[in-house]
Amino acid sequence: MERVFEGKVALVTGSARGIGRAIAEDLAEWGANQVILDIKQEDCERTSKEISEKYNVKCLPIACNVTVKQQVQEALEKVKSEFGGLDFLVNNAGILKDNLLLRMKEEEWDMVINVNLKGPFLVTQAFLPMLMKAKDGGRIINVSSISGLIGQVGQANYAASKAGLIGFTKVVAREYAKKGILCNAICPGYVQTDLTDALPDAVKEELRKSIPLGRPGHVKDISKVVRFLCSNEANFITGNIIRIDGGTVIGL
């Protein structure tokens, strides 16, 4: 494939591993320089080195907790001085703290809402002015979940955060369409990553059985859709919520 994203810059939050890393790799494969932003500096540096060597792009590692406004502001300054602009923002960083509602601790609620919903708010607000200057129009992709569409037992906090992210996506799409911004959300189903590997085996088996296509998702199933949404092939798509779930919630 031609390097159609040559000269463009992408920021994927939570890109040191998992789905975020796969998205950064696919965007890099088409030539986009990367901001590898995650919690730990050494993880960001390792992933940056591997991606820059493999795809011959520039990678800027930034340790940043997306829930802390000051750190997000510092990340913005670093991106400004290294790249001077931003074309693609993918709000991917997310966590799980599952518990039945009656047992859910206030900290479990707050942590999940903070990372999964306040994080995208802070990061999007900070980087929007830069995205509005992107030559071919800025793209924002928010990584939600089918849990935000159908709810899942034990996920009152997570489902609320991911449903909130869908509402947020629609508002950003409406408010900044005239500024050339396209904003969409994706809803992955069960994808095998470190996040889901931590679930009990019985839960993983149940999840697998709920997928009509008969297999869990691979990170590449997700990253390829994000890459499409960043490409010019998708330039009439905004405010959309796209399921990538092997058919798990067919009919919604």
Ligand X SMILES: NC(=O)c1ccc[n+]([C@@H]2O[C@H](COP(=O)([O-])OP(=O)(O)OC[C@H]3O[C@@H](n4cnc5c(N)ncnc54)[C@H](O)[C@@H]3O)[C@@H](O)[C@H]2O)c1
Which of 52/114 has CB closer to ligand X?
114
Give Cβ neighbours of residue 174 (< 8 Å, ≥ 6 apart): 239
Angle CA(12)–CA(13)–CA(16) in degrees, nearest 5? 90
Determine if 193 is a binding residue for ligand X (CB under 6 A): yes
Kindly identify the residues of this chain, within the stretch 39-78, that bind ligand X according to CB under 6 A: 39, 65-67
Among 110, 179, 105, 113, which Cα is nearest to 140's?
179
- The residue type found at 17 is R
Min separation Cβ 115 and ligand X, Å: 4
DSSP state of 67: T
Binding residue (CB under 6 A) for ligand X from 5, 11, 20, 26: 20
Half-sphere exposure of 3 (CA within 13 A, CB side): 13
> Considering the complex, what minimum distance in angstroms separates the CB of residue 195 from ligand X?
3
- The answer to whether residue 38 forms part of the interface with ligand X (CB under 6 A) is yes
What span, in angstroms and rounded, lies between the C-alpha atoms of 91 and 20? Answer: 9
107 binds ligand X (CB under 6 A): no
Q: Which of 5, 205, 13, 182 is nearest to 90 (CA)?
A: 13
Q: Give CA torsion, residues 117, 122, 123, 125, to 10 deg.
A: 120
Given 55, 158, 176, 190, the catalytic residue: 158
Residue 93 engages ligand X in binding (rule: CB under 6 A):
yes
Euclidean distance between CA atoms 193 and 137, whole angstroms: 31
115 in contact with ligand X (CB under 6 A): yes
Q: What residues numbered 117-176 form the site for ligand X, per CB under 6 A?
A: 119, 143, 145
Tokens of 221: 């199933």
The amino acid that residue 156 corresponds to is A
Binding mask 199-238 for ligand X (x = CB under 6 A): ----------------------------------------
Closer Cβ to ligand X, 20 or 61, answer by number: 20
Let me know if 158 is a catalytic residue: yes
Name the residues that contact ligand X, by CB under 6 A: 13-14, 16-20, 38-39, 65-67, 92-95, 115, 119, 143, 145, 188, 190-191, 193-196
